[in-house]
Amino acid sequence: MTYIHDTLEGLRHSSPAQSEFYQAAEEVLECLRPLLESDPQYHDHSIIERIVEPERQIMFRVCWTDDAGRVRVNKGYRIQFNSALGPYKGGLRFHASVNASIIKFLGFEQIFKNALTGLPIGGGKGGSNFDPKGKSDAEIMRFCQAYMSELYRHIGPTTDVPAGDIGVGAREIGYLYGQYKRLTGRYEGVLTGKRLNWGGSLGRKEATGYGAVYFAQNMLADRGEDLRGKTCLVSGAGNVAIYTIEKLYQLGALPVTCSDSRGTLHDPQGIDLETLKRLKEVERGPLTHYLTYRPDARYLSREDDPGEGHAVWRIPADVAFPCATQNELTVADAEALISNGVTCLSEGANMPTTAKAVDCFLDARIAYGPGKAANAGGVATSQLEMAQNSSMQQWTLEKVDNKLQAIMADIYRSCADTAAEFGAPHNLVLGANIAGFRKVADAMIEQGVC
């Protein structure tokens, strides 16, 4: 279909050198072929050309002072991609790898992820190439205050509600919120992921990891299986990975790995969750320190990674949860997972699997949950936090978790039913993209050209 080809070529011309964004756009548009061939209204209203262009791109300089008194400069971003369904919603990522391409791919994915939740939220994303690792609390505070001194002009509880992402946890959200309140004089739900005693929601910290596990649970249930007794691989060692591991234990599974930027931790007896939480949430230290507490575990450094992949994916298991970062799982990794017995994969990170690796999983007919569906629990619970803020309430953990389970079940059913509607019942990538797109596109048509 030349329509899709021309759109992608137009993006390469208008947004040069943005490979991650092209990858995300191509995945979505290729999945839309059967819908576009059967329903001409999306051509007539130029929905494709409109949906791949952000409504607003905000880029700015962030100047802050380090502990030595030296002025540092970083780049700040906020991409407000689509507001057809509600205020922009999506996290802030602070990491050295952040650039315009990564923020645009994340914002584009967020449109459809948010649509799948069934909640009234649009898609956006933001962040900076500032890296909190190795910085003091005072330096992080000064950076967050400088970042918010620009961002506050563009956000609000019914306009754009950022949350956390890689490098942005409750500490950073606190500093950002304090500066927003100082600048505006308003105490309102403009950020999610807040601490519990000033507007946060029970269950928000756990939601992305828990949601990825609930999604896997739904995929397996459709095949007459469950997670109990299954050996699981988890990548990452941040918030998503930690609470994926926690929920796996609660459901009777055995998570045996996690990873960080330096390498992979493998504990055949099962990752000691309390030790992992102490290392990452309290001490903020490297995974290598885990061996001090569990000497029978092993740590494989990046030098031990296979040439075209990562050691975390070369360990025999039943289910896999990529929870680290984009494109962390290669074709060679996918082939190794399949040959080692993995029959289910649920993505806790955003686009963690390369396009060719996704094709491997689909060809093998394993239960494969794409990130825009499987990790939507985080943004869904962020919207529940927004609802609590607007009504000046705080719900119980049980109420939040019950809503999260219902949302993840609904997302799975929507993806599975849509995939079946278009003749590919095993292909949840196609199902997720068409279901999310159709909801946003229909709203755009109904609201006119804007």
User: What is the DSSP annotation of 48-60?
Assistant: HHHHTS-SEEEEE
Residue 316 backbone class (left: φ over 0; alpha: ψ -120 to 50; beta: rest): beta
Same domain for 172 and 295?
no
Tally of structural domains, the chain: 2
The answer to the question of residue 447 being in a domain is: no
Could you tell me the CATH number of the domain that includes residue 127?
3.40.50.10860
Same domain for 71 and 100?
yes
Give the torsion through C-alpha atoms of 278, 280, 285, 286, to 10 deg: 120
Domain final residue pick, 369, 390, 413: 369
Domain that holds residue 246: 205-369
Annotated catalytic residue, options 89, 104, 113, 125: 125
Domain final residue pick, 163, 188, 213: 188
Please provide residue 84's backbone torsions phi and psi, each rounded to the nearest 5 degrees: -60, -35
Instruction: Please state, in angstroms and rounded to a whole number, the distance separating the CA atoms of residues 363 and 358.
Output: 9
The answer to the question of residue 377 being in a domain is: no
pLDDT per residue rounded down to tens, the chain (450 residues): 678 889 999 999 999 999 999 999 999 999 999 999 999 999 888 999 999 999 999 999 999 999 999 999 999 999 999 999 999 999 999 999 999 999 999 999 999 999 999 999 999 999 999 999 999 999 999 999 999 999 999 999 999 999 999 999 999 999 999 999 999 999 999 999 999 999 999 999 999 999 999 999 999 999 999 999 999 999 999 999 999 999 999 999 999 999 998 999 999 999 999 999 999 999 988 999 999 999 999 999 988 888 789 999 999 999 999 999 999 999 999 999 999 999 999 999 999 999 999 999 999 999 999 999 999 999 999 999 999 999 999 999 999 999 999 999 999 999 999 999 999 999 999 999 999 999 999 999 999 998
Instruction: Please state, in angstroms and rounded to a whole number, the distance separating the CA atoms of residues 119 and 114.
Output: 7
The answer to the question of residue 255 being in a domain is: yes
The answer to the question of residue 408 being in a domain is: no
pLDDT at 67: 98
Domain final residue pick, 350, 369, 388: 369
Could you tell me the CATH number of the domain that includes residue 249?
3.40.50.720
125 given a catalytic annotation: yes
Instruction: Please state, in angstroms and rounded to a whole number, the distance separating the CA atoms of residues 89 and 121.
Output: 6
Same domain for 159 and 268?
no
Same domain for 145 and 225?
no
The answer to the question of residue 59 being in a domain is: yes
Same domain for 130 and 246?
no
Question: Do residues 263 and 301 touch, judged by C-beta distance below 8 A?
Answer: yes
pTM value is: 0.93
